[in-house]
Structures are given as structure tokens and as C-alpha cells.
Chains A and B, each alone.
Chain A
Amino acid sequence: MTADETIANPIAGVFDDVAATPGSAKPDPIIVADDVQRRFGGLLAVNVDHLEIQRGSITALIGPNGAGKTTFFNLLTSFDKQDGGRIQFDGADITSVPSYKLAKRGMVRTFQLTKALSRMTVIDNMKLGATGQVGESLWKALLPVWGAQEREIEERADALLERFNLTHMRDEFAGTMSGGQRKLVEMARALMTEPKLVMLDEPMAGVNPALTQSLLGHVKGLRAEGRTVIFVEHDMDVVRDISDWVVVMAEGSIIAEGTPDDIGANQEVIDAYLGAHTDSDFFDDIETAVAAEAGSPERRGDES
């Protein structure tokens, strides 16, 4: 982690005066969600009264399996339709804006199951990410009007590949890459949209410990560039390491908010994870609970 410590945190101290209570107000929210609900039959999968996400911060969304994290993610990104409520992004209502329009507004997401476009080269994967491409219209694609923009996009893509140490994979099919490399490509591709807000759904899942460190560095790099990051994660070491603020969901609702230290001491959170009172260290307990739930105690072993 030594190298990562040098990456600046431009918003250090912003959360000093923010109350560690669910739905607390932030100084400069980029996302404001009100009364967001999503029902699957009789199950209220998401029921968020009020949530603000601080601009420029790294916010972690955690919670036990089935807490509604990914569903809430899908609602924020319009990949799912809410049954009620309002979502604001960057001051504008995006409640019924279709998902493909959000990329142009500066919101981009990645997926829990990595979606590398297998039968396209890595560089084509990257170039796809650029928004506002003239040659994406059927008629203009036939005319010689997109060449200059294409070269500019390719330069930007190459620079990002360089930053993510993927230059050697440039002309390979994305499908030939390892799981970790796919995570990197997906993140780099998302950056091609020049987003204000990056939403990462389990960015570290299935990634080996060495690459996790590199990914963590990249996420901190996003914050250093002034971008906002929201991510869903199960690995508590990761959460503690990079997040400025932690939002805890359980059974569809937000049950706690706070800095990683606040959350570590929050009895309600511990109950949500373990379903029982306990006085041992919170993060260790959660780790155990998560590992048991995922049925993979090796993951902890990897890190030691």
C-alpha cells in the first residue's frame, strides 16, 4: 500500500462535519435519492428514504447478500425502473432518463460480472467508450467526417491503456484476457466517457491480491482527478482502505452511514451482518460472515 499513499485525496476533511446517521446531508451532493423503492412481487427489495453522495468522494456501499445493493445500483443507473421515488444527479432529475443517456451526462457504471466485449479487440473496447462520436450515426458513418475524431479518441484510449498497464494487450481480443485484466479494461473503458461519477459494482471480486492493490490505486487515482466513485464491495479491507464514506444497506434500506471507523463501531451494522450481538472486532467479524456466506474462506487466506 506504500505507493498508494502518495495519491492525493483532494476531499480530505470534507466529512468532518457530516453526521454519521442514515440520510445525513452532505456539503455538496452529486447524487440525491428520495423515497426510492423497488418491489419484486411482495418483496420490497429497495426502500431508500433519503441518500446523498458527496461529490469527489469514494463512497462504499456495503451490506449482507440480498441487501439490495446491486438493485439500488441498477436503479441509480436506470438499468432498472423504480416503483417510486426521485433520483437527482448533478442537480438534474434523472428518474426517468434512459440508461444510455446517463453516460453522456457523466455517469458510468461497471458490472458485477465483468462485461468485456469478447470478440472485439481491447482498443476497440476502449474506443467504444467515447461519447458523442459523430460516426455513430448511420448516415454520417458512411461519410468521411469522423476520421479526425477517431484519431483523437484513439490517442485518448492509448493513453488510458498505458495508465492501466494494458498497452501490450491493445490488439488482442478482449475475450483472451484474464479476469483481472477484464476488470481493468472495464474500468479504463468507463473512463473513456470522461465521467463525473463512476459506479463500480464489486470491482475487486475475483481479482488476485496483487492486482487488487493496483486496482485500489486506480480507484484512488479517480478521486485525485476529481471524480466521484461509488462502489459495492464485500472485502472489508478494501472498504477500510479506500473509502471516505460508507453506506450500509440491509433488507433494502440504509441502516447506517459514516466513515469507515464510525461503521466499525456501529452495533446495528454488526447485527445486520451477524444477526447477533458480539463484542469482537467488527471488520473481522464481517469478513468471517462474508467469507462463510460466499463459501470461500480461501479469499482471506490469499491475503495473509
Chain B
Amino acid sequence: MDWGFILERTFSTMLGVEVMVFAMAAVGLNIQFGYAGLLNFGQVGFMAAGAYGLGVTINYFQWSFAVGILFGVVYSIVLALILGVPTLRLRADYLAIVTIAASETIRLFVRWRQMKEITGASEGIGGFADPFYDFALNPFNPGQRYDFGPFSYLGRDLWVLTVGWILLIVMVLLVKRLMSSPWGRALKAIREDEDAARALGKNAYMYKLQALMLGGVIGGFAGMLQVVQKGSIQPDTFNPVITFTIWAILILGGPGRTWSPIVGSMIYWALISFLENVLRQLPDGPAGALEDTIKLSDFNISQLRFILVGLGLLLLARYRPQGIFGSREEMALNDR
């Protein structure tokens, strides 16, 4: 086994597009669940809203890339309002039901054949991302390969990563600032006890709606970055598994902590990459044994790594339920 190669792959994954996109979506979810206590089980719906806001605006309406971004934001806000206005006055579980249903509705709607002209139905949208790479400030040549020590990136990916990571760091710092402000304090109070916050003059409904919108817009940006990197929008990539992965990442990092989305995402994807590369390079002995017992083939490896990560999450829930950054004492207070 080539451990150098395995570690190299693992580390380059940690700075990769998947880590960045999922961390960003988790930053949004962290505002909603970690700080405001909102159960949003449809974060992928916000990613789709951002992605299609961008793609449809450019491809169907033939407007510019900048207007596309604006519409990605607008779609995310509109989705938050549609989901939040009727449900946020009700008990917390209603939002959970509505969000998970809405995210699937969005996916099925955009892949509907009647929508072919606008959303491209099941084939999706392509050819909208070029302005992003042709942007004047882009110092990289999209087609060229750039080497950094052992790591090698295509110029195209390097530009996405540069923009994405800067955006992600700015968003995390923004959240950090917000949560140490009186606004964040009121939000946390609403998470702890809505009635107490109301009795002290806080409009809980408005705060929750703002949190849903803000987290949704950040999720929308994650969706936009993802499809810009891919160069196309495929409706079926916006499936509920994405939402659950974002949840796993947030819980891994520890909800309600500033840097947990980034660290959670890094650990999650590094683990996936590490397991995949290890399984692919098993020496003949163990590989043969696995093939005989659980029919492990190249094809099954991608399944098995998720099974193993799931097992890891199970152990985390048992032995470190507060996540990487969370404090166990703080978590225990919740049970009283």
C-alpha cells in the first residue's frame, strides 16, 4: 500500500470543492439549527434554489451572470418565506416536515417534462458558467494544470476554490460577528425558550424567519458554487441525501459553534477519501478475504466507505454526542 499517496489524496480532499460546498451549506444550517433551533431538513432545496436561480436566469432569460447570482439569492429568500411564514408560528416539527417535503417537490418540479424549456427537465442546464471563469480578476488559465508540491489542480478548479474558500471564510466570520451581537443573543434565547424571549420583548417569529432566510441564502450560495464548478445543473444531484450529509457534517463538528461546519466537512470528506483509497489499495491477502466474505469489488467500495462512515457517526453519537467542538456539559443542560 502506498501510504504517501493515500495521505496526499486525503489532504487534497480537505481543501477540495466538496468540502467547501458542504461546509458552506452547513454554515447556513448552523444558523438555522445550531443557533436558532430550527429543524430545516431541506437545506438541499435552498441549494437547488440558488443553483436554478443562477442557471435559469442566464440560460432561459439570457441575463448576465451577476443578475443570475442576484436571482439565486432572491429564489432562496422566496423559498425561506414560503416555508417559514406559515410554519414558524407553529411547533418546531412542522418546519421539519414542510422543508423535507419542499426540497423533494423542488427536485421533482424542475425535472418535470413540462419545464423542459426553462429548467431543462431531467437533462438539466449547461453552458451558463463560462462568465465565471472568464472573469477579469481570474489569475488562472482554466485549462492549465498548477502544481503545489504534491498537489496538482486544474486552473478552472483553482479559481472556484479561491472564490469559494474566500466566500466561505467571510461567511463564517459574518456568522461569528452576528452571534456575538445582541441579535445572536436573542436568537439563542429563542432556541432555548421562545416564550421567555417573547416575554422580554423579542419578536421570536421575526427572528426565526430572518435566521431561516439567512441560512437559506448561504445554502443558495453553496448550490451556486457547486453547479458553477460542475459546469452544469442536474436536478437529481439535489436529493435528500445531500441534506442528511450536511446534517451529519454539522453534528460531527458540533452545532452552534463557529468553525464546526468547516471542520466537520473536512473530517467527513477526508474520512470518505481515506477509506476509499485504503480499500482500493488493500494488499492481495485482505482484499481477497473481503471479496470472498462480503463480495467487495471496485464497484462496492464506494458503498462500503459510506457504510463505514455511518458506523463512525454511530460511534460519535454514542461517545461524543456534542460533536468535535461542542461541550458535553452544555449539552447535558438541555435535558433538564
| Residues of A near any B CB (own CB < 8 A) | 77, 79, 98-104, 108-111, 115, 117-120, 124-125, 127-129, 131, 133-138, 140-142, 146, 150, 173, 175-176, 186, 189-190, 192-193
Contacts and interface: CB of A to CB of B under 8 A. Distances in A.
B189 A100 contact: no
Interface string B178-197: 10011111101101110111
Contacts of A176: 329, 333
Contact of A136 (B183, B191, B198, B336): B183
Given A124-B185, A133-B182, A142-B174, A99 B192 contact: no
A138 B200 contact: no
B200 A108 contact: yes
B202 interface: yes
B147 interface: no
A104 B201 contact: yes
B199 A119 contact: no
B189 A138 contact: no
Contacts of B178: 138, 141-142
B334 to A, nearest CB: 6
A99 B202 CA distance: 9
B178 to A, nearest CB: 6
B214 A99 contact: no
Contacts of A100: 197-198, 201-204
Interface of B: 174, 177-178, 181-186, 188-189, 191-193, 195-204, 210, 214, 329-330, 333-334, 336
For B188, B201, B203, the residue with the greatest tally of chain A CB atoms inside 10 Å of its CB is B201
B197 to A, nearest CB: 7
Contact of A193 (B183, B201, B204): B201
Contacts of B174: 142
Nearest to B179: A141
A111 B196 contact: yes
B30 to A, nearest CB: 15
Nearest to A146: B182
Contacts of B329: 173, 176
A109 B185 CA distance: 20
A79 to B, nearest CB: 7
Majority-rule SS of B interface residues: helix
A117 B329 CA distance: 15
B181 A115 contact: no
For B183, B202, B334, the residue with the greatest tally of chain A CB atoms inside 10 Å of its CB is B183
16 contacts: A79-B198, A98-B203, A104-B201, A108-B199, A115-B193, A117-B189, A117-B192, A117-B193, A118-B336, A124-B185, A136-B186, A141-B182, A173-B329, A173-B333, A175-B334, A186-B196
Given A100-B203, A117-B196, A128 B185 contact: yes
For A77, A100, A108, A118, the residue with the greatest tally of chain B CB atoms inside 10 Å of its CB is A100
Given A117-B192, A128-B189, A175-B333, A135 B202 contact: no
A129 B193 CA distance: 13
Contacts of A108: 199-200
Contacts of B336: 118, 175
Contacts of B333: 118-119, 173, 175-176
A150 B180 CA distance: 11
Given A138-B210, A141-B177, A111 B195 contact: yes
Contacts of B196: 111, 115, 117, 186
A138 B199 contact: no
Contacts of B202: 100, 128, 136
Contacts of B197: 100, 128
Contacts of B191: 119
Contact of B195 (A79, A98, A133): A79
Given A138-B210, A150-B182, A120 B199 contact: no
B183 A99 contact: no
Contacts of B184: 141
Contact of B177 (A77, A142, A186): A142
